[in-house]
Structure 1
Amino acid sequence: MKRMPIGVDDFKAVHERNLYYIDKSMLIKDILDDGAEVNLIARPRRFGKTLNLSMLRYFFEKTEENHRELFQSLEIWKQGERYRREQGKYPVIALTMKSLKMTTWPNNYSRLCTLLATEIERHAYLYENNNLSTNDKYVINRILDRTADESEYGGSLELLSRLLHAYHGEKVIILVDEYDTLLNEAYIHGFYDEAVTFLRLLLGEAFKNNIHLRKGVMTGIFRVAKESVFSGLNNLKVSTIIQDDYSEFFGFTEREVQKVLEDFSLISQMAEVTSWYNGYRFGSKHPVTIYNPWSIAQYVEQGDLISYWVNTSDNQIVRQLVTEGSGEVQRLVAELLEQRPIGPIRLDDTIVYREIERSSEAVWSFLLLGGYLKPLQVERRDDGELYGLLDVPNKELYYFYRKMLRTWLSDTTEGQEQQLLEALTSGDISAFQARFRDIVMKTFSYYDVGEDKSESFYHAFVLGMMVHLGESYEVRSNRESGYGRYDVMIIPRDSSRGQKGIIIEFKKADRFEEESLDEAAVSALRQIETKQYEAELRALGIKDIVKLGIAFKGKQVKVQSG
C-alpha cells in the first residue's frame, strides 16, 4: 500500500517515491483559463498550497529535464492539446516564504535575501553566457554576494523575469508561496512596518505593470489589505474560502475522502472521520464541502481519531484573540462552546492586522480565513456585503478551543483551578473569594493589565470555567449580556446528586459615578434577584442554589453571596 505524502511538498518527489496522490491537476486548467494576470489564493495552513504550487512549477517550467511523464496519467492531460502544449513552455520563478518565521526583522530580511539569491542561482545559465549588460551583472553579483541594498533585492524578481524573458523568448510565470508568513510573524513580534514596506516593493516590482509576466500565482492564508502590500496592483484576482474559485483544489472533497478510506480499507470509519475532520465550506454561491487534508493523511497513517492539524501551529494569535478579546467576542466564543452558531456576521475576506485587536469583525475574519471557523447560510445583501452564520467546523477544532481555554485557566491560576472551582461548586464562598482575589492580583501585576483590559480577564475566566466544569455541569453564559457585566449559570448535569446550582453576575464598578466595589457587588446580586434567574434552576429540580455578585475595578475584586 502506498504511503501518504505527509510533509512532502515537492510534486516530483511524490511521484518518484510512489506516494499516494489525490489528483488536483485540473487546477492547472483553471489557472490557464482564468483571465487574471495575477492570482492570490488564500487557504488555511496545511491545505496543500505548497504542493499545488510545486505542481504548477513542474507543469509550466521549461527545463532540460522532461517532466511530461509526471502529468500523463492525470486529468489535465485528458483536456486536449491546447493544455498539453503549455507543459514545459515557460521560464518559471518560484519563491517560497514559509521559512520566514524568525522573531526579528534583520533575521527575516537576511533569510529572504538568501532565498532571492538562491532563486537567481537556480538560473545561473543567464549570467554564465556573458550576454548580460554591465549593470545587470553588477546587480546580480551584489545580490549573490549578499551586498545588494534593499532596492536591489526588492527589484530582484522583476530583474530575473526580464532576463528570463529575453533569454527564452517566452514571458515568465512567477510563483510565490506563503507570502503572508512573514507578515504574521511581523505582527506578533513588532516589525510589521518594515515587513510590509519590503514586501510591497518586492511584489509590486514583480507583478505591477511587469511586461515580462505571463502569469503570477501567490498563495497564503490571508488576503492582506490591498493598501498594505498590494497597493496599485490592479491586475490581481483574489480567491479566499468565501469565493467559489478553486474551491475543490485545496483540501479533500467528500468524494476524495471516500476514495482514500476505501483505498486504505477504512471506509467503515467514514462517519467518525466526517465528524472529526469535515466541516469546512469553501465558496458562497456554489459551496464545496472540504475535509482537512493534513488530518486525513495523519489519520490514515496513524489510525487514531485525534487532533492533528491544530498541533501544526502554536496558535498564538488565536489564543490572544480569544482570551484577551472584547466582551462581545468572548460572549460569542461562549456560544460556540455551547455548540451554537453565531451571527449573522459580516464576512470580510480582507485582513488588516492592526485592526484585529480593535475590531470584532476583524477577529471573526481572522478565525474564518485561518480555518478555525466555518461559514453557514451565506447570503449577499442589498449593499453587496456577504453575511453568514459562523460555527466550529468539527470535533478537532471544538476540542482545540476547549483545551486552549482549559490551559489558559490552569496557567492563570498557577495550577489552582481545581481548588478554586471546588470552592465555588461546594459553596465555600470565602475560600473562593480569597483564591480568586489572589489570582486576579497576581495575574494583573504580572501581565501589567490596564483597567480597560481588565474586563477581558473576567470574560476569559468564565470561558475557562465553562470547559473545566463541562463534564459535571452545563455552564451557560448570558446571551443578552449588557455593558459591564457577564452573567453565568452553572447547572448540574445530574440534579439527583444534590449538587448546587450557581448563578453569577459580573459587574464593573462605574468609575464615573464613583461606585464602590461593595455597591457594585450588591447591585450585581440584586440583578440576579430582579431577573429571577433561579426560576430556571428550580424548574430543573435544583433546590440548593448559590447566588454570587462579583464586582471588579481593575485589579480589585469583591464577591458578594446571597
Structure 2
Amino acid sequence: MRKYPIGIQDFEKIRKENFLYIDKTQSIYNLIASGNYYFLSRPRRFGKSLLLSTIKEIFSGNRELFKDLWIYNQWNWEQKHPVIHLRLSKLDYQKLGLYEALSIEIGILAKEQGVELESKHLKGRFEELIRKASANGKVVILIDEYDKPITDYLDDLGKVEENRSIFKSFYSVLKDSDPYIRLLLITGVSRFPKVSIFSDLNNLNDITIHRKYATIAGITQQELERDFADEIAEIQQHQPDFLGKLKSWYNGYAWHEEAERVYNPFSLLKYMDGRDFRNYWFHTGTPTWLVNIMKQNREYDLENVHIGENALSSFNVEHIAVIPVLFQTGYLTIKGYNSNNRLYKLGYPNTEVRESLTDALLSAYRNVFPGNDSMSVTDDLSESLKKNDMPQMIKALDVLLSTIPYDHWKAESESIFHIIVHLSFKRLGFDVRSEVHSATGRCDVLVFTDRYIFALELKLNSSANVALDQIFEKGYLRPYQMDARKKIAIGINFSSEKRNVQDYLVKELE
C-alpha cells in the first residue's frame, strides 16, 4: 500500500520510511543556486516546513536520502554547510514569553552545532551562534512560521506589539551577518509583519509572487499524473471523469498570473487516502476571527475582486483589511493580472474553499458560527432553482431565516437578506452575481443555472409588487436578452417583524 505523508513535514522520515515524496528538488536547486536571501509566504499545510526540511538535508550532505530524485547527481554533496533550522511553531512562547522561548531555542541550536554561547541577551546569543557556527562553513539559516507568535495574538494588540519589537531586534542580527551566511530562507503564512520586522534586512528577496517559484509548494497537474498514476488508473475504472472533479475540488491555486496552477497538497493526499471528496483543508484550522471580521465588514462577494500589488502584501494589525489576508491565507488566489492598471484579479481557488468559506460565512450571518454549518438548510434551494420551482424556493428561504436565533436577529436593513440570499446560492455552487450594474440601475442578485437566469430584487417591509416592477423598469434582464436560457424575474419582500418572506411575485420574460 502507498504511504501518504499526511501531516509529516520531516524529509528524512519521509524518505527513510518510504512515504510518497513529490520531487521538488529541481525547483529547490534553482532557488538555492540563484541567490542567498529569500522570503516565501504560503498558506498553512502547503509544504513550507517540508521545503525547509529538504533544504536542510541538502546542505547537510545527506546524499542517500535523495536517491532517484532530480538533485541526486546535480549537487556537490562534499560541500556541507552548518544549518540553523529555527521552527517558531515548536517554541513554548505562550507560556514562557517569546524572548525567553527564543533564547532557550538558540541554546539548543548552539548545542547542535557544538557551539558554546557566552552572551546572556537574545540578540547577542543569535549573533554569536551564527558567527561561531560559520567556522565550519557559511551558515544556512532556515526560519519556519516566522509569523506565528504574532498571528496567534491578533486579538491582543499589546502582545502583538511586544512580540513584533522582540522580532525586530532579533532579526536585525542578520543584516550584519552577511559574511557568515550562505542561505537565508524565511517562511510563513502572512506577509503583513514583514516590513516592520525585517525593515533592516533590505536584501531579503520576497518570492511569494514569482513566476520561477510559483510551484515550489503545492502539486502540479504533471506531478499528480506522474506520482499518482496507479491511483488514477484504479479510480478511473469506476469513475472515468474523476480527474476533472479532482481538479475542480482541490486545484486552482496560483502565485503568479502566468504560472501553472497547483493542487492543495494536504487535501490531495487526504483524498488519495480516503477517496472521498470532502473539505479537508478548510477544517484543519480556519480562524474564527477571520470569518467574524468578514461578517463585521460585510465582506461576502469574493469573486472577481481587484486589488493592487502593494495592498496584496499589506496587513495593518490595528485595521485589518480582509482581502489581503484572504489571499495570504489561501482562501483567495490570483485569477488574472491587468498590467495597464497593475491590478490583480482574485477569486476562490476551488470548490473546497468556495463551499467551505461561504458555508462558514452564511453560518456567521445566521449567528450559529462556529459549531454549526448551513448545509442542511440550503440543500432544498438547489433543487428548487434547477427546476424553477418558486414556491419551494420561497419555502426554503423561510426555513433558512427561521433558523436564525431570535436574540441575534438584526434586520436593520434589507442588506442582511441580500447577503444571506447571495451566500445561500453561492454555497450551492451557482453562478451568483450581486449588485450587478446596468445602464439604468443595479440588480440585487442575479443567479445563473444551466436552463435559467433569475433576477431577484429584495425589499424589506415594502411589497413584492414594488420589487418586481423595479426589475422591469430598470431593465435588469435586458443585457441577457440574446441568451437562450429562460429569464425569470422574482420580487421578494421580507418582513423584519415576522422574520420571513411576507410576499413574492414571479414573472417569466416572454
The answer to whether the 8 A contact 2:367-2:404 is kept is no
In the alignment, the residues of structure 2 paired with residue 177 and residue 293 of structure 1 have an alpha-carbon distance, to the nearest angstrom, of 18
Cα shift at 1:319: 1.8
Query: Residue 522 and residue 353 in structure 1: after superposition, are their counterparts in 2 closer, same or farther (change >3 A)?
Result: farther
Which structure 2 residues correspond to residues 385-400 of structure 1 after superposition, within 5 A?
A: 385=342, 387-400=343-356
Report what 2:491 is aligned to.
547
Q: From 58, 63, 67, give the equivalent of 1:68.
A: 63
SS at match of 1:228: helix
SS at match of 1:351: coil
Report what 1:223 is aligned to.
191
SS at match of 1:21: coil
The answer to whether the 8 A contact 2:445-2:457 is kept is yes
Q: Quick one: which amino acid aligns to residue 168 of structure 2? A: R
Report what 1:339 is aligned to.
none
Report what 1:235 is aligned to.
203
Which structure 2 residues correspond to residues 308-327 of structure 1 after superposition, within 5 A?
A: 308-326=280-298
The answer to whether the 8 A contact 1:412-1:439 is kept is yes
Cα shift at 1:161: 0.8
Q: Quick one: which amino acid aligns to residue 180 of structure 2? A: H
The answer to whether the 8 A contact 1:223-1:350 is kept is yes
In the alignment, the residues of structure 1 paired with residue 8 and residue 230 of structure 2 have an alpha-carbon distance, to the nearest angstrom, of 20
In the alignment, the residues of structure 2 paired with residue 291 and residue 125 of structure 1 have an alpha-carbon distance, to the nearest angstrom, of 36
Which structure 2 residues correspond to residues 5-404 of structure 1 after superposition, within 5 A?
A: 5-35=5-35, 37-61=36-60, 67-79=62-74, 83-86=76-79, 89-99=80-90, 107=94, 110=97, 113-114=100-101, 116-124=103-111, 136-137=117-118, 139=120, 152-165=121-134, 168-190=135-157, 191-207=159-175, 209-224=177-192, 226-240=194-208, 242-264=209-231, 265-266=233-234, 268=236, 269-284=242-257, 286-326=258-298, 329-330=299-300, 332-333=301-302, 336=303, 342-348=304-310, 349-354=312-317, 357=320, 362-381=321-340, 385=342, 387-404=343-360
The answer to whether the 8 A contact 2:251-2:264 is kept is yes
Query: Residue 289 and residue 60 in structure 1: after superposition, are their counterparts in 2 closer, same or farther (change >3 A)?
Result: same
Larger-gyration structure (1/2): 1
Query: Residue 435 and residue 120 in structure 1: after superposition, are their counterparts in 2 closer, same or farther (change >3 A)?
Result: closer
Cα shift at 1:436: 6.4
Query: Residue 440 and residue 73 in structure 1: after superposition, are their counterparts in 2 closer, same or farther (change >3 A)?
Result: closer
In the alignment, the residues of structure 2 paired with residue 31 and residue 288 of structure 1 have an alpha-carbon distance, to the nearest angstrom, of 18
The answer to whether the 8 A contact 2:334-2:344 is kept is yes
Query: Residue 491 and residue 250 in structure 1: after superposition, are their counterparts in 2 closer, same or farther (change >3 A)?
Result: closer
The answer to whether the 8 A contact 1:437-1:557 is kept is yes
The answer to whether the 8 A contact 1:486-1:506 is kept is no
Report what 2:239 is aligned to.
none
SS at match of 1:442: helix
Query: Residue 262 and residue 162 in structure 1: after superposition, are their counterparts in 2 closer, same or farther (change >3 A)?
Result: same
In the alignment, the residues of structure 1 paired with residue 114 and residue 254 of structure 2 have an alpha-carbon distance, to the nearest angstrom, of 48
The answer to whether the 8 A contact 1:186-1:195 is kept is no
Query: Residue 459 and residue 109 in structure 1: after superposition, are their counterparts in 2 closer, same or farther (change >3 A)?
Result: farther
In the alignment, the residues of structure 1 paired with residue 438 and residue 171 of structure 2 have an alpha-carbon distance, to the nearest angstrom, of 45
The answer to whether the 8 A contact 1:549-1:560 is kept is yes
SS at match of 2:143: strand
Query: Residue 201 and residue 460 in structure 1: after superposition, are their counterparts in 2 closer, same or farther (change >3 A)?
Result: farther
The answer to whether the 8 A contact 2:220-2:263 is kept is yes
In the alignment, the residues of structure 1 paired with residue 475 and residue 416 of structure 2 have an alpha-carbon distance, to the nearest angstrom, of 27
Query: Residue 125 and residue 196 in structure 1: after superposition, are their counterparts in 2 closer, same or farther (change >3 A)?
Result: closer
Query: Residue 394 and residue 356 in structure 1: after superposition, are their counterparts in 2 closer, same or farther (change >3 A)?
Result: farther
CA RMSD for the aligned pairs?
A: 4.6
In the alignment, the residues of structure 1 paired with residue 259 and residue 206 of structure 2 have an alpha-carbon distance, to the nearest angstrom, of 17
Q: Quick one: which amino acid aligns to residue 73 of structure 2? A: K
Cα shift at 1:172: 1.6
In the alignment, the residues of structure 1 paired with residue 229 and residue 501 of structure 2 have an alpha-carbon distance, to the nearest angstrom, of 60
Deviations 1:57-114 (A, max 9, x none): 12213xxxx723213432223225xx3333xx222211112356x9xxx726636733
Query: Residue 438 and residue 313 in structure 1: after superposition, are their counterparts in 2 closer, same or farther (change >3 A)?
Result: closer
Percent identity for Structure 1 against Structure 2: 26
Cα shift at 1:316: 2.5
Q: Quick one: which amino acid aligns to residue 408 of structure 2? A: T
In the alignment, the residues of structure 2 paired with residue 123 and residue 169 of structure 1 have an alpha-carbon distance, to the nearest angstrom, of 13
Which structure 2 residues correspond to residues 388-427 of structure 1 after superposition, within 5 A?
A: 388-412=344-368
Farther-moved stretch of structure 1 (400-409 vs 252-261):
400-409
Q: From 386, 402, 407, give the equivalent of 1:442.
A: 407
Deviations 1:354-396 (A, max 9, x none): 3764xxxx43332223222232332433x6x3x2332322221
Report what 2:434 is aligned to.
477
Q: Quick one: which amino acid aligns to residue 228 of structure 1? A: S
The answer to whether the 8 A contact 2:432-2:447 is kept is yes
Report what 1:149 is aligned to.
none
Deviations 1:464-500 (A, max 9, x none): 44357x59x9865331399x998246799999xxxxx
In the alignment, the residues of structure 2 paired with residue 392 and residue 428 of structure 1 have an alpha-carbon distance, to the nearest angstrom, of 26
Farther-moved stretch of structure 1 (298-307 vs 22-31):
22-31
Cα shift at 1:173: 1.4
Q: Which runs of 5+ in 1 are unaligned?
A: 140-151, 337-341, 496-500, 508-516
Query: Residue 466 and residue 60 in structure 1: after superposition, are their counterparts in 2 closer, same or farther (change >3 A)?
Result: same
Query: Residue 29 and residue 437 in structure 1: after superposition, are their counterparts in 2 closer, same or farther (change >3 A)?
Result: closer
The answer to whether the 8 A contact 2:332-2:346 is kept is yes
Q: Which runs of 5+ in 2 are unaligned?
A: 237-241, 385-389, 506-510
In the alignment, the residues of structure 2 paired with residue 400 and residue 111 of structure 1 have an alpha-carbon distance, to the nearest angstrom, of 34
Query: Residue 159 and residue 521 in structure 1: after superposition, are their counterparts in 2 closer, same or farther (change >3 A)?
Result: farther
The answer to whether the 8 A contact 2:436-2:446 is kept is no
Q: Quick one: which amino acid aligns to residue 95 of structure 1? A: L
SS at match of 2:118: helix
Q: Quick one: which amino acid aligns to residue 271 of structure 2? A: Y
In the alignment, the residues of structure 1 paired with residue 169 and residue 327 of structure 2 have an alpha-carbon distance, to the nearest angstrom, of 29
Cα shift at 1:40: 0.5
SS at match of 1:186: coil
In the alignment, the residues of structure 2 paired with residue 438 and residue 252 of structure 1 have an alpha-carbon distance, to the nearest angstrom, of 40
The answer to whether the 8 A contact 1:9-1:50 is kept is yes
